[in-house]
Amino acid sequence: MAIPYNRRTHKCGELRAAHVGQKVRLAGWVDSYRDHGGMAFIDLRDYTGITQVRFNPEGNAAALELARSLRAEDVIVIEGTVVSRGTNINPRIPTGEIEVIGEALDLLSKAEPPPFEISDRTDASEELRLKHRYLDLRRPVMQRVFRMRHVIAKTIRDYFDANGFVEIETPFLTKSTPEGARDYLVPSRVRQGSFYALPQSPQIFKQLFMVAGFDRYAQIVRCFRDEDLRADRQPEFTQLDMEMSFVQADDVMTMVEGCAKAIFKNALGIDMTTPLPRMTYQEAMDRFGIDRPDTRFGLELQDVTDLVRGVEFAPFKEAAGSGGVIKCIVASGGEALTRKVTDGLTEEIKGIGGVGVPIVKVAAGDAGPTFATGIAKHLEPLAAAICARTGAKPGDTIFFMPGTYDEVCKYLHHVRTRLAEILKLIPENRWDLLWVVDFPLMTYDPDEKRWFSTHHPFTAPMDEDIPLLDTEPNKARSKAYDLVLNGTEMAGGSIRIHQRDVQARVFNLLGISDEEAQLKFSFLLDGLKYGAPPHGGIAFGLDRWVMMLAKMPSLRDVVAFPKTQRAVCLLTGAPTPVAAKQLDELALISKAPPA
RNA sequence: GGGGCCGUAGCUCAAUUGGUUAGAGUACCGGACUGUCAAUCCGGUGGUUGCGGGUUCGAAUCCCGUCGGCCUCGCCA
């Protein structure tokens, strides 16, 4: 008689010494088999863990025969009695004090040998894992990741629900908008020649919810951007998108801090201290060279422009003479900084558009610190002054960078993060969460000779900086805020413009004419006409939160069915060509050669 | 679009740098085995060296092209 697999008494990770003597019924996958002829062990796995099942003639001779034919990933259901393992306990698994004597066994589904071992220590390539993602996801580590993802998503929903937010869905088939990332387009069949765009974010819709009087909105929503992929960028990704009415920036940040605190508590059991530290954009750039500083380690940037401006070293003279800066990073632990390592850093800087990174090593001289190697001969007379300014001590290495402020920030940020890795300065299990505030409203693109929104065009300028829009727009700060965790941007948001005249002035500065603005954003601008409350919000990258908290190296590890770098799904093969009839219905002709 | 790394058995890798029959571990198949913990022991099957072309007496190895995967710059309001 078949074993009723729909009546499991326990999961495979649940049994303990306290269950000894009980009759149990378990189902799952064969993790491994150890066939001793007259006796056989089956490790039975489900998402909760592993239980060892022992088959022997005393339990059931027929079941032993069947058990000896089992192979990895066969799906079975067993009945038996929990017994103590006595002196044979396995301390490596939580159920290791007990085993189940197999008294009945049904094979529910025979498995072909899998293309790779279903285990946390599998050595299969990512390519193979993605092709057979359903097997990859069966691995315990992936089960943990996606269950943590669920916990985070549920925490977010519960938190915002408890705070009076309402979740409302926004369209996926929507309107292509000019600025920002490249849109994914969807052709219209009933209006041939016209296209929908998949949303890059529900930004405008959530603002209209505020106009509509919903007061507080939060949605976990998919967003789409057709740009090149990276380890931390997928073409479709998930955001927690939220918006609040009648608030200032502080109110949004306080609300988000509560959510972040709940996420850390529920996902990792960690109590975060709030309120979180805040840093201005300018301070972040000055000290770390990046608007998302990793504050888990030192190696801060230090300005020595005034000290070295007279030095006979062409790159320094050029930078100092043309309004640029010379900054440096002081690193201790010089033993690891061999010639090979510092030369490697120079190559990396060249690889991202720079020239290199000149260095000196600090030594102890009779009359104070001296410099050696690198550009020491140019700086020797200033050794004492530079060490006094920067705190460099004998044995330290100083990495210099001359250039424009932006160049120095970009390259020294790279040097700083690489040095932290090389010198192993990044503490494990530390979570540095902070706000970066006071972003510039706009940044100038010298190539395109025009202004771009730092955040997005609906971000409000600071009230006291509104007059600067007409005089020095580069100095106008915005009511934007970014949440940064260990050097990664986790969320970004702002207070929005709710006055049409201010919105019009910002559009003008961005080179968007009234006519163009009306054409592209009329649905927002019209909305703002009819009584828009002051409002603001934020968006979290949910995938990135999971990736960080689960300590996974790639976003692909926290998305169930991710795309490769060329935006292909290795499981389904998408994207694929379509039938000529489908293109006909959409009035489309493909210029690409047949695949 | 640019730079870099990689592709050999189902899987992970090796092959003395151009040399004659492409190996190992694991998986799989067969056998032995009543206390294993990724069981062990014995035996066996398994190859379009990503694909196409070229150089050569001879190519996994060198050259050209192409396909695929990864990292990265540009790009990502």
Nucleotides of B under 7 A from a protein CB: 1-3, 10-13, 26-29, 32-40, 68-77
In this prediction the pTM is 0.94
How distant is C1' of B15 from CA of A124, in Å?
A: 22
Q: How far is the CA of A127 from the C1' of B23 (A)?
A: 25
A474: CB within 7 A of chain B nucleic strand: no
Q: CB < 7 Å to strand B — which of 351-410 in chain A?
A: 351-353
Å between CA of A75 and C1' of B11:
22
Neighbours of A466 (CB within 10 A): 16
Give the CA-to-C1' distance from A128 to B8 in angstroms: 16
What is the model's pLDDT at position A53? 98
Enclosing H/E stretch for A272: none
Tell me the ipTM for this assembly.
0.93
- pLDDT tens, chain A, 595 aa long: 799 999 999 999 999 999 999 999 999 999 999 999 999 999 999 999 999 999 999 999 999 999 999 999 999 999 999 999 999 999 999 999 999 999 999 999 999 999 999 999 888 999 999 999 999 999 999 999 999 999 999 999 999 999 999 999 999 999 987 678 999 999 999 999 999 999 999 999 999 999 999 999 999 999 999 999 999 999 999 999 999 999 999 999 999 999 999 999 999 999 999 999 999 999 999 999 999 999 999 999 999 999 998 888 989 998 998 889 999 999 987 677 888 788 888 888 887 888 888 999 999 988 889 998 889 999 989 999 999 999 999 999 999 999 989 889 999 999 999 899 888 899 989 999 999 999 999 988 777 778 888 898 999 999 999 999 988 888 999 999 999 999 999 999 999 999 888 998 898 888 888 888 888 888 888 888 899 999 999 999 999 999 999 999 999 999 999 999 999 999 999 999 899 999 999 999 988 766 5
**The token pair that represents A266 in the structure block:** 């529920």
**A218-237 residue pLDDT tens:** 999 999 999 999 999 999 99
How many Å does it take to go from CA A126 to C1' B68? 13
Unique residue bearing structure tokens 């010639």: A339
Distance A57 CA to B43 C1' (A): 28
Answer for A572: CB within 7 Å of strand B: no
Residues 95-154 of A, Cβ under 7 A from nucleic strand B? 96, 99, 113, 115-117, 121, 123-128
- A527 exposed, middle or buried (CB, 10 Å; 0-12, 13-18, 19+)? buried
By the 8 A CB rule, do A361 and A394 touch?
A: no
Q: Which nucleotide is nearest to A564 (CA to C1')?
A: B69
pLDDT in tens, A399-436: 999 998 988 999 999 999 989 988 889 998 999 999 99
Which residue blocks in A497-575 are alpha helix, DSSP H?
Answer: 500-509, 514-529, 542-549
Residue found under tokens 């828009």: A532
The CA distance from A507 to A509, in Å, is: 5
Q: How many CA atoms lie within 13 A of A285 on its CB side?
A: 14
Q: Is the CB of A561 under 7 A from strand B?
A: no
3-state secondary structure of A335: helix
CA of A576 to C1' of B62 (A): 37
Q: How far apart are CA A243 and CA A208, in angstroms?
A: 10
- Closest nucleotide relative to residue A452's CA, C1' based: B77
Cβ of residue A94 lies below 7 Å from strand B: no
Q: Is any atom of strand B within 7 angstroms of residue A510's beta carbon?
A: no
For the CA of A565 and the C1' of B62, the distance in angstroms is: 31
**A454-CA/B48-C1' distance, Å:** 54
Helix (H, G, I), strand (E, B) or coil at A411: helix
DSSP letter for A459, please: B
**CB of residue A581 closer than 7 A to nucleic acid strand B?**
no
Residue A594 is predicted with a pLDDT of 61
